[in-house]
A and B are shown apart, each in its own frame.
Chain A
Amino acid sequence: MKSWTSFLAATAIVTALSLPAFAARTDLVIGIPLEPPHLDPTAGAAAAIDEVLYANVFEGLTRIGPSGEVLPALAESWEISDDGAVYTFRLRSGVTFHDGSAFDAEDVKFSLDRARAEDSVNAQKILFEAIDSVEAVDPATVKITLRHPQGAFLYNMGWGDAVIVAPESAGTNKEKPIGTGPFRFENWAKGASIRLAKADSYWGEPAYLDKVEFRIVPDAAAAVPALLSGDVQAFPFFQPDGVAQIEGDPRFRIEVGATEGETLLSMNNRKAPFDKLQVRQAISYALDRQAIIDGASAGLGTPIGSHQSPASKAYVDLTGAYPHDVARAKELLKEAGLENGFKTTIKLPPPSYARLGGEIIASQLREVGIDAEIIPVEWAQWLDQVFTRKDYDLTIVSHTEPNDIDIYARKDYYFNYDNPEFDRVIAELNLISDEAKRNELLRQAQKILADDAVVGFLYELPKVGVWDARLEGFWKDAPIQANDVTKVRWTD
């Protein structure tokens, strides 16, 4: 009898304790594919840094929103002088860093001066290149004078590389990041996870979640069981390869959005036989984009015919320029004097779009008589061999930077492409700010690239987000590489 009463008492206590469980959950584990090398967004190019810290821990004067729009952040409002050269930012009041120190105009001056200094290790110094001077007018006002007007200046100030840090903690942010965002950094178990907790002192609308853990799950193979078992509740950047197992499971929501990633079969334009237009065209004809998208990207992704996001206003549909046509490809190879085909190599970096896509492309090239040996490489080797030394024939990579068609005009870029006509279009583009005229030039540029079959244009990389169906508030698209969880919450 006695044991019964104590059992009942225990049950009562347990029930009482679990009452708060009826309120929505406030913890979340997010899977990220790559571990950041350190945690200071102002000192490294790795996208993984922003994927954890951007908007969550660190904030800038402005920020980029879910659809790529510029929103106010630490700057409440701003005025732009008539000549477009002077920006006066009105800062929010009552903002503190997570270590308790107050935020004011001096911190802004410090951060921007540090980022554009001679010895700065900022990975995107070009963002600050237009700044002539930064002046703290009073604690709540900052005046930035530009050398010349720059249309994208507010957008630039929203990048992760332009977040505001405090002089006291700037030196130690790599290990122990201290920002002004709705989450504060808690701990980093290297190789495993990074934990954030809600910052009680946050100036704005508080986050819904109390605890967020970013767990490093490198491949789709591990991501699928982690999701299915509930260990990890969200993968905002999921490898499409794993979608097949999640599809149709009502516990999960799959959201396919857009990225700025043109996925390319890059060719070394200076190396024989890729220096011949017919060979590059033959390869373009040999590609069956739909099969590549089906096999390497779970059927997700939009085919492209040139280097421009289909979401862009300047986009022209050139996917019809080289339809899948084996006979035509063979004919072109014959014209190039290679009727017996040739042997070549294709270097594949680690992402699944490259490794899977490469297998399919190698098979498609075999159909027209091209024998492409597959060489998988790590990013380290890819950067060294392909990107830096241009020691490659073919490679697959997704160029995720927004509006980057100008890379084809860069001298010594790894495509080894050189067309003065294209360079002229890009040079003109850089001088013009009228949007209609710019779009016209962009269309011309796309057409030149398609005519020259510079690379094999494959598809626009999709952003596949997978998360527990009870979660909401994640970004659908990826205008920048970030996992903004400030609006994420559980709905039951």
Chain B
Amino acid sequence: MRGAAHEEEPRMRVFAFANRSLLAGCLITGLVALMALVSFLWTPYDVTKLVVADRTQAPSLIHWFGTDHFGRDIASMIMVGARNSIAVALVAVGIGMGIGVPLGLFAAARGGLLDEALMRLNDLVFAFPALLSAIMITAIFGPGAINAIIAIGIFNVPVFARVARAGALSVWPREFILAARAAGKGPALITVEHILPNIASQLLVQGTIQFALGILAEAGLSYLGLGAQPPMPSWGRMLFDAQTRMTVAPWMALFPGMAIVITVLGLNLLGDGIADLLDPKARRRR
């Protein structure tokens, strides 16, 4: 929807960091990623160890963000939860790109009946309300991170297929492609050598958008208990656990919620920033 297919050749700018969205987006996303990486090596407390006696302690110097209903350190859980959110959303984007982009490129290169058939298949997936269907899939096949990834990933496929196809269709009639064809290159080679590099930036922008949507979708699924299972902490599940204790332990709801907002915000800013960088027209609008 936003900043999707721009039919321009990429133009890298040296003054990238003059772009405020990009700067803020890079910073926030970088921090979240760093937090997730650090959690592999170190967290303030062990998130798999429950110390029921220390439950629902308010934020303090010992526990910066307080403890949850099982006495786990919320700061540590947010760090490890970032890992889960990023992993689910990233792999789901990977599935969407890995299947969607080749499909879109193929459809654009071949055209005709095959194109039509692939696009109808796209329509089919689009016809299912995405979040609801993801909920159905995980509810039916069992909750868990893997099923959540698949459920979110399926609905990324048609998005990337459309962006790739639209982008490719706009590049195909260009002169340098005609030249390549004249030089005897086949459609497959042209697609890999010329089309793909020219639409890579659009795919990148769409990728960050889907990444952000994936984080939100994962949070929604785990809020319903359908995402990653304990002892793996997840932000959405932390919000679910917080819900029955909103008045006695508001920190349990505050910090995971903020983690989601900040991460999604960072990714959206990053996406906007990249789009601005690549599309001077959009930049002018700003």
Contact = CB atoms under 8 A, between A and B. Distances in A.
B55 A374 contact: no
A242 interface: yes
The secondary structure that dominates the B interface is loop
Contacts of A373: 229
A241 interface: yes
A355 B50 CA distance: 14
Interface in A375-389: 375-378
Contact of B243 (A221, A291, A295, A362): A221
Contacts of A374: 229-231
Contacts of A376: 143, 225, 229
A141 interface: no
Contacts of B249: 244
A224 B229 contact: no
A382 B135 CA distance: 19
Interface in B32-73: 48-50, 52-53, 55-56, 69-70
Given A220-B244, A245-B248, A363 B229 contact: no
B215 to A, nearest CB: 22
Contacts of A242: 244
Given A224-B244, A242-B244, A245-B247, A360 B52 contact: yes
B172 interface: no
B245 interface: yes
A241 B240 CA distance: 12
A339 interface: no
B247 A359 contact: no
B197 interface: no
Category for how many chain B residues contact A? 20 to 34
Interface string A163-201: 000000000000000000000000000000000000000
B200 interface: no
A375 B147 CA distance: 13
A363 B243 contact: no
30 contacts: A221-B244, A224-B243, A224-B244, A224-B246, A241-B244, A242-B244, A244-B245, A245-B245, A245-B246, A245-B247, A291-B50, A291-B52, A294-B53, A294-B55, A295-B52, A295-B70, A356-B69, A359-B70, A359-B230, A359-B231, A360-B52, A360-B70, A362-B231, A364-B50, A366-B48, A366-B49, A373-B229, A374-B230, A376-B143, A377-B142
Interface of B: 48-50, 52-53, 55-56, 69-70, 139, 142-143, 225, 229-231, 240, 243-249
